[in-house]
Amino acid sequence: MKKFYIGLSVTYHDSALAIVDDKGQVLFAEATERFMQNKRALNCEADPLLHITDLLETYCPFPDEIVIAINWQKKRPLYENVIAALGCLTASGLLKTGIRQLNSPLENYQLHHMIASQRNKIRSAGINLVRIINEYYPDCAISFADFHHHLTHAATACYSSPFSESACAVIDSFGEKGSMGFYHYKDQKLNCLYESKGTGSLGFYYMKITELCGFDWLKGEEWKVMGLAPFGKLNQELYGLLKTIVSVEGFECKHPSNQLFSNLSALDKFQKDERTPIKQAADLAFTGQYFFAELMTKLLQHLQEVTGCINLCFGGGCALNSAYNGQIKNRTVFEQVFIPSAPADDGTALGTAWLALKQDKPDLVIPRKNHWLSPYLGSIISDQDMKRVIQFNRSLDIQYLPHSICDATAGLLAKGQLIGWIQGRAEFGPRALGNRSILADPREKKTKDNINHKIKFRESFRPFAPSVLDECADEYFVDYHESPYMDKTLSIKKSMQNQIAAVCHIDGTGRLQTVKEQWNPRFYHLINSFYQKTQVPMLLNTSFNVMGKPLVHSIEDALSVFLTTGLDALVINDYLIRKSSEKKTRICF
């Protein structure tokens, strides 16, 4: 009997789909934004109707039974039901006046829009899957499961970790009743220690800081705050004000009601003006990040004291704050920190699939190869796709190099060329980890500006990541520890900063990716080949996209970026693609 578990992240942002077999093996996991090429896939279904048929045929053909599980409880909280009854969760309802302002850094209309969008996604969850399964596999039994949102985050983090026992923190913007959950994980069992209630939220706090800096948190631009922060310094006045707006005690996060709104209004003086240069918000970004790190440390240290564990699994949107993640070992008693490749809501698709499986088979042990979960779980660009390009191409120089693609690419990188690199299955999570990457030589500082101006078309203050061979990383990073999913920012040794200037941020840090041969053999061999040519065991690695778009998904996406940017070459599997040297474009006026 063939039984599969399909997990859906049906949050209104970062929707995703994961498929797990009845032994716990992950067959597929990917964010919806990739297929749709719509950044964050806001208010989009997790199971796009036109995508489902191919996924079922490829990963769970002729199923006898499928369980469809979602990452939210269908039974909604009291407050949500009350405001729905009052009509606040409709388009006209967002304009209602006379509704008591919630104790939150965000406005009511923003919160109610999120809740309304979320409610709609839960209501329609799985409807496309059911139609397609019923149409193509009419004999397949279908059942449903729903789980507490923070539990699905915890399941993703813990079941994919190398630990048999750990503390687990889930910290994001909101769940069913609050923004945080804390767990003790042991022998494949998750015990909830504390679930927060109310509007207190470090996620909402960071969204407010993002907004004040002139960025858009709906677009997920919290990344920009982290990149901008090292350009600033601590503003004592702002720091004091922030302390009146959010506080933590034990496992609780609070927005003090006394004078909260007047204090929030006082933040307006720090708001970046649209007409002023972005770096004028640097002190705001630095202070906001500084205070965030203080609050996080208090929460995590309390968790360590309660559990006595030396291992930490960390999930939720706040676990994407790599600038803080690299400090956890030094600021707490935790000795090892694990953050999954997809710690935000897209990752919960996998957690909910595993929870549905564990509900059926409580004693089953989730398998992990090499003591970690490979992030390479998404779609592929096949050689068949490349053959179409070769058949109809009239302008590209294409070479097939099955035995020397790594060496040839390393040679181009050593000459300073910018390369689009596509191999195997796409990464699950927001970061390019060597399968959907833009790569460059990390040695020259000017390379950073070159990529920003010619390819990424993004702000100059945002850093690029080093992907480094594990056996050499200790030579470059202070207190080096593994960062397999590019999840931690560490300090680069002063003696090495000039040698890898393109991946060294203004504060002397780099958000690194650890690369091991057993994790990604081809990416390892590419970096090692570059190492042999340059004596530098790393590459600059950034996501294969342009600003505002997701990682490329299809061969058409890849060629579009290649042909409309300053990329020098594109590598897809064993094919090296270069632009024709002959200028054929004629512009007439």
Residue-wise pLDDT for 134-175, tens only, equals: 999 999 999 999 999 999 999 999 999 999 999 999 999 999
- Which residues pair with residue 19 across a beta bridge? 6, 28
**What local confidence, expressed as pLDDT, does residue 258 receive?**
77
The mean predicted confidence, pLDDT, of the chain is: 95
* Three-class DSSP category at 510: strand
Examine the pLDDT at 585 and tell me if it is beyond 50. Answer: no
Residue type, 263: N
pLDDT digits (tens, 9 = 90+) for 11-60: 999 999 999 999 999 999 999 999 999 999 999 999 999 999 999 999 99
pLDDT, position 582: 52
Look at residue 8 and tell me whether its pLDDT is greater than 70: yes
The hierarchical CATH code for the domain 3-150+344-373 is 3.30.420
Q: Tell me the C-alpha distance between 483 and 509, whole Å.
A: 14
Distance separating alpha carbons of residues 14 and 149, to the nearest angstrom: 14
Phi, psi of 89 (to 5 degrees): -100, 35
Cα 146 from Cα 133, distance rounded (Å): 19
Beta strand 419-422 with 569-572: parallel, antiparallel or unpaired?
parallel
pLDDT of residue 278: 79
User: How confident is the model over 564-588, as a mean pLDDT?
Assistant: 81
Q: What percent of the chain has pLDDT over 70?
A: 98
pLDDT digit string, tens, across residues 275-333:
777 778 999 999 999 999 999 999 999 999 999 999 999 999 999 999 999 999 999 99
Would you tell me which CATH number, out of the four given (3.30.930.10, 3.90.870.20, 3.40.50.850, 1.20.1050.10), belongs to the domain 378-579?
Answer: 3.90.870.20
Dihedrals phi, psi of 5, to nearest 5 degrees: -120, 120
Q: What is the pLDDT of residue 580?
A: 82
Taking a C-beta distance cutoff of 8 angstroms, is the pair 559, 39 a contact?
no
Q: Does domain 202-338 have CATH number 3.40.50.1100?
A: no
pLDDT of residue 394: 85
| Residue extents of the structural domains in the chain | 3-150+344-373, 202-338, 378-579
Res 588: pLDDT? 40
pLDDT at residue 529 tops 90:
yes
- What would the mean pLDDT of 475-501 be, rounded to a whole number? 97
Of 427, 206, 169, the residue nearest 315 (C-alpha): 169
List the one residue out of 46, 32, 72 whose CA is nearest residue 351: 72
Using an 8 Å Cβ cutoff, are 79 and 119 in contact? no
Q: What is the mean pLDDT of residues 204-210?
A: 96
Segment 346-395, tens digit of pLDDT:
999 999 999 999 999 999 999 987 778 999 999 999 999 999 999 998 88
| pLDDT at residue 224 is higher than 70 | yes
Q: Distance between CA atoms of 522 and 132, rounded to whole angstroms?
A: 36
For 233-255, what is the mean pLDDT? Answer: 95
Q: Do 3-150+344-373 and 202-338 fold alike per CATH?
A: yes
- 29 is written with which tokens? 């996991």
Question: What is the arithmetic mean of pLDDT over 555-574?
Answer: 97
What value, to the nearest 5°, has the Cα angle with vertex 369 and ends 365 and 373?
A: 85
- Pairing of β 465-469 and β 509-515: parallel
Distance CA 268, CA 107 (A): 14
d(CA 67, CA 142): 6
Cβ proximity of 527 and 537 under 8 Å: yes
CA dist., res. 477 & res. 135, Å (int):
55
Residue whose pair of structure tokens reads 């969850």 in the numeric block: 125
| End-to-end Cα separation, the chain, in angstroms | 67
